Amino acid sequence: MSKLPNQAHRPGRAWTVLLIAWIAGLFIAGPWDLPLSTRVADLDGTAFTHFIQVWGTTPSGILQFAAVLLLLTPALRRRSEEAQIIAVILLVMSILQPLVITTAIKFAWGRLRFHQLGGDLALFTPFWQPNTAAGGVSFPSGHTATACSLSPVVVYLWRRGRGSAAAALAVVVAAWTLTVAWGRIAGGYHYLTDVFFSMGLSALLAPFVAAWGEAAWRRWFRKAEDRTGVPLPPKHPPRRSP
């Protein structure tokens, strides 16, 4: 049985388990921050770390541009209502996590990047310890948060009964996110908890953003039925049986 529209964004048992696992994972990963970065970070840079530094946010940027173009172009909007909803969900997530939440925490926390330590490991601070005076922006990872920006679309597709599409997109998002996360650690720009925080937060926000994005589309971007004669898609149709 599908969830009622006003229940779709409420956290359930799985979300609570994920929250607990995320918090526990941060404290488990914390002691590995400095040892891992010390072992794998190449401060001179490699072709891989340079690629991630320069191009790591490019795929998301292209998708964001395409989403804005679609929503502002009537001829493109008419082609697919589902594409409109996905575009709104992507833009909501792109603004909420990488831009607003991540930026606010970065400046509030002040954690120095590994390459900024200059070999003085005494300057390192664990993720749970704000150090605003240091002026660093390591925690959390903005590149990783941006790489996760399609995670709410995975939730949306699953809720619409598009299990295969959701699974395929989840694999792509996970693979790219892990690639970006490793590149940021290997380049000395982030610690393990920086990237883990962003990945976990993205997963926790995904079901809410999927619901908020669809609601925003229905309020601001949908075509009125009385003008098109085309019935609007149901908010949460039953998932197809396997």
Q: In the chain, how many domains are there?
A: 1
CB 50 within 8 A of CB 23: no
Quote the pTM value.
0.88
- Asked if 143 and 52 count as a contact pair (C-beta separation under 8 A), the reply is yes
Per-residue confidence in pLDDT tens, the chain, 242 aa: 344 444 455 678 999 999 999 999 999 999 999 999 999 999 999 999 999 999 999 999 999 999 999 999 999 988 999 999 999 999 999 999 999 999 999 999 999 999 999 999 999 999 999 998 899 999 999 999 999 999 999 999 999 999 999 999 999 999 999 999 999 999 999 999 999 999 999 999 999 999 999 999 999 887 543 344 444 555 555 555 54
In a domain, 17, yes or no: yes
Q: How far apart are CA 23 and CA 16, in angstroms?
A: 11
Residue 236, in any domain of the structure? no
Residues 149 and 92: beta-carbon distance below 8 Å: no
Q: Quickly tell me which residue has 């002691």 as its tokens.
A: 31
DSSP state of 138: -
The tokens describing 118, both together, are 């200059």
Could you tell me the two tokens for 201?
């937060």
Q: What is the CA radius of gyration of the chain?
A: 20
Nearest 10 degrees: CA dihedral of 182, 186, 191, 195? -20
Domain assignment of residue 103, yes or no: yes
Quick one: which of 161, 173, 164 has its CA closest to 239?
161
Look up the domain containing 196 and give its range. Answer: 8-221
Tell me if 211 is assigned to some domain.
yes
In a domain, residue 145? The reply is yes
